[in-house]
Amino acid sequence: MDLLNTLVDKGLRRELPTRDEALAVLATSDDELLDVVAAAGKVRRHWFGRRVKLNYLVNLKSGLCPEDCSYCSQRLGADTGILKYTWLKPHEASEAAAAGLAGGAKRVCLVASGRGPTDRDVDRVSDTIKAIKEQNEGVEVCACLGLLSDGQAERLRGAGADAYNHNLNTSESTYGDITRTHTYADRVDTVQKAHAAGLSACSGLISGMGETDQDLVDVVFALRELDADSVPVNFLIPFEGTPLAKEWNLTPQRCLRILAMVRFVCPDIEVRIAGGRELHLRTLQPLALHLANSIFLGDYLTSEGQAGKADLEMIADAGFEVESADQVTLPEHRRRGGCGSGSDAQGGDAQEGSGCGSGCAPAEAPESAAQAEPGGARTDLVAVRRRGAGTDVAPNA
């Protein structure tokens, strides 16, 4: 296809595609899907080789959020049955992080629900960052705490944070349909504050919320304009008890086209498959590794992901390798202060709380899963997290 040849050439030169070209990727047919994956895979391998970066989420404070984000299991008034607990102590968070690091993760993403941190919250998280870094040499730490006030990003940077995550989630034109308690501009402002403080900016999107192709292209172009170092791509987890519980409109093929489009628009940026990958990509997860160079290991914020061992086996079986702590994620021309200077670029993420990360499928699905219609609702794959941080049960990393 002339389109794909053009997009590969542009990706290798870091040239921005046109919006029409990005839309055309989303409009390709299932018959063309492997060609699309192969083309975007060339761009991914050019900038990142066959390395896959592993990241690990620690939910510092679960539920109890005053915001009304329609996609979120932690939203105000949601009846989703998730774990609810207040702030983990620094040593508890450090212990939780250790499980992910032992499983091969090189970055720990510290997430807390809420509109944004108070100055006391920043002190808590700063103490947690220091505790994790004291016990794990070379570990990268990303914070995801919601909307930042002036000076807070600088304090997190001073405490040792490498990155800050705050997702745009959807296009500016439709943002008000998803969230009413804060604005799209508020989110942009926080990403800019993180950048200005020398933190590596991580910001991504959630697909599957009923958005149009134009919405998807708009938010990805906005992320490139913001110059995020890392772009997490979430696939909506339709939790029962949230306004978007009935939005089951993603297929594995659709998810791959979205990831390919993001790779073409952001060729030299860390693209992470975040919340919902097990739920929506299912058996096509290995193909997604040809498009993205980063994933989460194990569980998410309030939902279960596949076992860390299964993640590692999938990476190896697909012919990829886990990125080691001494390897730099970003290409040299993108390295800057903060994480990009000797680490990588991304933060917590997936789909919940302060704009960060939720997840999806349990390690084993019930037998009834096999009877579900292809592309239909897979409620059997949505499992609330009952292990790891905030519990006495070991995590699945």
Active site residues: 65, 69, 72, 109, 142, 202, 272
Using CA atoms, how far residue 12 sits from 9, 15, 20, 39, 341, in Å, is 5, 8, 19, 11, 22
In whole angstroms, what is the distance from residue 317 CA to residue 70 CA? Answer: 37
Q: Which of 3, 10, 22 is nearest to 218 (CA)?
A: 22
C-alpha–C-alpha distance, residues 29 and 36, integer Å: 10
Q: Per residue, what are the HEC states of 325-352?
A: CCCCCCCHHHCCCHHHHCCCCCCCCCCC
Q: Which of 154, 146, 186, 94 is nearest to 337 (CA)?
A: 154
DSSP, collapsed to helix, strand or coil, labels residue 370 as: helix
For the chain, what is the radius of gyration of the CA atoms?
Answer: 19
Cα 207 from Cα 195, distance rounded (Å): 25
